[in-house]
Amino acid sequence: MREYNISLDAKKLPTAWYNITPDLPTPMAPPLHPQTMKPLAPDDLAAIFPMNLIEQEMSAAPAIDIPGEVMDVYRLFRPTPLRRAYRLEDALDTPARIYYKNESVAPSGSHKINTAIAQAYYNKEEGIRAMSTETGAGQWGTALSIACQFFGIECNVYMVRVSYEQKPYRRTLIQTYGGKVFPSPGETTESGRAFLSTNPDTTGSLGMAISEAVEVAAKSGGKVKYGLGSVLNHVLLHQTVIGLEAIQQMEQAEAYPDIVIGCCGGGSNFAGLAFPYYGDAKHRGKSIDFIAVEPASCPTLTRGHYAYDFGDTARTTPLLKQYTLGHNFMPPGIHAGGLRYHGVAQQIALLVNEGAMRAVSCLQNPMFEACLLFARTEGIVPAPETGHAIRVAVDEALKCKESGEAKTILFNLSGHGHFDMTAYEAYLSGKLTDHALDAAVLEAAEAAIPKVTVES
Ligand SMILES: *Cc1c(COP(=O)(O)O)cnc(C)c1O
C-alpha cells in the first residue's frame, strides 16, 4: 500500500528555530545605514522594529527557542503534511521520488503565517498596538492580518495598487481578518504622494509599498512598528519550522533528499525548507543540490548584481549585501506577484555567491503547464509562485527519467492558488505572454545600485 502522507506527531513540533548564521561559509557583510552608509547599530532599527526582533536579526546563536504562545498558534495547523507525489511520479514515468511539504494548509493559504505569528507575538510582547506592512500579491497582508488579530494588534496593509485593483478577493480576505488596506502608492504618506507626483499612472511596486509602510512606522513616534514578510534574517529564521519538520518526516519515510527546491521571491519559503537541510547535511557530511527558482522576468539571483542595495524605492531602508536588479526595477506584471521583488535575502545571496546553493529561472507558460499537471495528478491547485518550484521539480524528475537515476526530490509547496484564478484563466485561454527580459531594461535599473565601499 502506498503511503501518501507522512504525518508528524504533534508532540514532535520543533521547539526552536534553526539559525543558519553560525553555519554560513563566510560571515555576512554588515547592513549599512541608509544615510551614513556606515555599518548599522541595533538602535538604528529601533524606530521601525521591536528590540526583540532586532536581536534575532543580529543573533549568532545556533537555535532560538519558539515562545509558548507562538507554539500554541502554530499548533492550529502545524505540523503540516509531507506528501510523496506518487501520482505525479506516475504521470512523469520517472524513477525519481518526489516529495513536497504542504504549506498551503496554513490558515492564510501559504507559509507566510509562520513568521507573521512570531512577529505579531514579539510586537505584542513589547507593548506595540499597531503594525504597518506592505503586500504585493496579498498573501503577506493576509497572513499578518490574521496573526495580528490573534495577538490583539491593529494591522495596516499597503497593497501594491495593481493587486488592489485586480485582486479584490485578496483585499476582502485581508479585511475579513481585520486588516486595513490602502492602495499603494497612495495619498496618505509623503513617499506615496511623491511617487504619484512623478508618475500619476503608476501601478505601484513592492519597493514603493515598503517605503510607505516604513514611513508610517518611522513617523509614529514608536506607536506603530513595521513588519516585513520576507528577506530579513529573522523572517527566514521563523520559516525554518518547515524544514525542521520535513527532516523528521523524511526520516520517517526513510528518505534523504538529493535535491531541495523552493521558489524564490525574497527567499523565505525556500530558506524555510533549505536552511535546516543545509545545516543537517553539513553536520552529517552529506551533499544536497539546493535550487532556488525565480521568474525569468524578475531574475534577481540569475541576472542581478551581488552588491549593497536598498530594500525599497525611496531609499529609506538599510542597505543589505544581496543580489539586486536595482531598487528602481519595475518587474513586468507577471502573475506570480509574490516573486516580483528586485532583491533577495542576504543569507541566500551569500550562499549562492559561495556556490553552496544555486538558482535557475523559468518563464510563466511552462510554469503554468507544470501547475496544471500538478493540479490534475495531486489534486492541489498551487499558487503561481509555487509553480516555479514545481516546474523545476518536474524538470529534475524528467532528467532522472533520461538518466535512469532514482533521485529523491523534495520541494516546498509554499501556497495554494485559490485566489489566482484570473491567472489560471489567462493561461487556459492562451492569453499568457512570456517576456524574456531585455538586457537594456536590466542595465537601466542597475544604474541605480549605489556604489558603496565599506570601511572595516
Ligand atoms: C510570498 C510568496 C512566495 C515568495 O516569497 P518568499 O519569501 O520568497 O517565500 C512564494 N510562494 C507563495 C505562495 C507566497 O505567498
- For the chain, the domains span 25-66+111-233, 79-109+240-446
Which of these, 38, 124, 23, 118, lies nearest to 78 by C-alpha position? 118
What pTM was computed for the model?
0.97
Task: State the pLDDT confidence band at 456, using cuts at 50, 70 and 90.
Answer: low
Rounded CA-CA distance 334/432 in Å is 9
pLDDT digits (tens, 9 = 90+) for 225-238: 999 999 999 999 99
In this prediction, residue 320 carries a pLDDT of 97
Which of these, 112, 100, 102, 110, lies nearest to 411 by C-alpha position? 100
What contacts 140, CB < 8 A, 6 or more positions away?
Answer: 112, 116, 133, 134, 229, 230, 338
Closest-CA residue, ligand 1 atom 14, reads: 338
Q: How far is the CA of 415 from the centre of ligand 1 (A)?
A: 8
pLDDT digits (tens, 9 = 90+) for 28-49: 999 999 999 999 998 999 999 9
Q: How far is the CA of 411 from the centre of ligand 1 (A)?
A: 13
CATH number of 25-66+111-233: 3.40.50.1100
Task: State the pLDDT confidence band at 166, using cuts at 50, 70 and 90.
Answer: confident
* Residue 130 host element (H or E): strand 130-135
Same fold, 25-66+111-233 and 79-109+240-446: yes
Q: Helix, strand, coil shares of the chain as percentages rounded to 5?
A: 45, 15, 40
| pLDDT, average across residues 196-204 | 93
DSSP state of 13: S
Rounded CA-CA distance 49/393 in Å is 37
337 Cβ inside 6 Å of ligand 1: no
C-alpha cell of 220? 509614529
385 Cβ inside 6 Å of ligand 1: yes
- The amino acid at 415: G
C-alpha cell of 14? 520543533
Topology (CATH) of 79-109+240-446: Rossmann fold (3.40.50)
pLDDT digits (tens, 9 = 90+) for 295-340: 999 999 999 999 999 998 889 899 999 999 999 888 887 777 788 8
To test the ligand 1 pocket, which listed residue (339, 362, 388, 416) has its Cβ within 8 A of the most ligand atoms?
Answer: 339
104 Cβ inside 6 Å of ligand 1: no
In this prediction, residue 429 carries a pLDDT of 97
Residue 455 has pLDDT above 70, yes or no: no
Q: How far is the CA of 269 from the centre of ligand 1 (A)?
A: 6
